[in-house]
Amino acid sequence: MMHVACSSCVEANRELPEALARIAELGFRHVDLFVIEGMEHLHPSDLACEDGSIAAVVSAVAASGLTVSALNCGFSVPFGEEASARAQIEREFAAMLKLAVEVECSMLTMQIGGRDKAAGREEALGRLRSFLSWLAELKGGHDVRLTFEPHVGSAAEKPADALDLAQRLWPEVAVTYDPSHFAMQPELSSLAETEPLLDYTAHVHVRNAAPGRMQAPMAEGNVDFAWLVTALDRRGYDGIVAIEYLDGEEAEALALRDLLSGLGVV
């Protein structure tokens, strides 16, 4: 059975303790925590400073009574061969792992950044494979699943490229599938084109979207959630479906939860 979660970004207009309390008040039992530099609520560069930030997060999660289903992570520096960038990423990734362990979370989703426009397809995908394989090595023996999200603007934004990357990285790195990043692409005729990605999916993000719009109100979007739940169910997926409406769109998140509940995601 699939279970619904709420991303902390849904309550981006509140401080983290209040955001988590509100998510619990709304009746959610699971939460995805945003740990993306420059976005609410947590910044990896802060967590890596060892100034008590992790302890404060652990305290806020414990007070809320929520289970942390995943950390949605984005580094403060882009991946590169520069020693300084690699060292900073190592520090931040270690902090992410520590936080995951402390809040008993078993899933890290990595945002994979924008594509280098000067790089060709194979070179761009090769860099991503190298980066994600390196993170898998850094993870070591931690009992935490590592995933990547194919998102618009990345080298893996097209379904075929995302699938190629997923197949090459599996099973060390899995996919966090977010249909909004595909549904917003006008040239995509149907989400069914992305179905092979579900064979490599370990976590799911959801919000409605429309051509040219990564986020759309439930009444205006074209994401086929019934198709998604059915396709996941065919594969025996029993993980989390995390609602990820950005910028405090609480009403839209609740409308999507109602829709998912009607489809059997509880």
| pLDDT tens track, the chain, 266 positions | 999 999 999 999 999 999 999 999 999 999 999 999 999 899 999 999 977 899 999 999 999 999 999 999 999 998 877 788 999 999 999 999 999 999 999 999 999 988 777 788 899 999 999 999 999 999 999 999 999 999 999 999 999 999 999 999 999 999 999 999 999 999 998 999 999 999 999 999 999 999 999 999 999 999 999 999 999 999 999 999 999 999 889 999 999 999 999 999 99
pTM of the complete model: 0.97
Give the pLDDT confidence score for residue 82 in this predicted structure. 77
| CA dist., res. 159 & res. 125, Å (int) | 13
231: which residues sit within 8 A by CB, 6+ positions away? Answer: 195, 198
CATH class of 3-262: alpha beta
In angstroms, rounded to a whole number, what is the distance separating the alpha carbons of residues 227 and 186? Answer: 19
Please say whether the dihedral angle defined by the alpha carbons of residues 205, 210, 211 and 213, taken in this order, is positive or negative: negative
Of 68, 69, 86, 65, nearest in space to 77 by CA: 86
- CB contact at 8 A, 21 and 64: yes
State the Cα angle at 162 between 243 and 184, rounded to 5°.
50
pLDDT at 195: 98
Backbone angles phi, psi at 213, to 5 degrees: -135, 115
CA atoms of 248 and 166, how far apart (whole Å): 31
Count of positions (residues) in the chain: 266
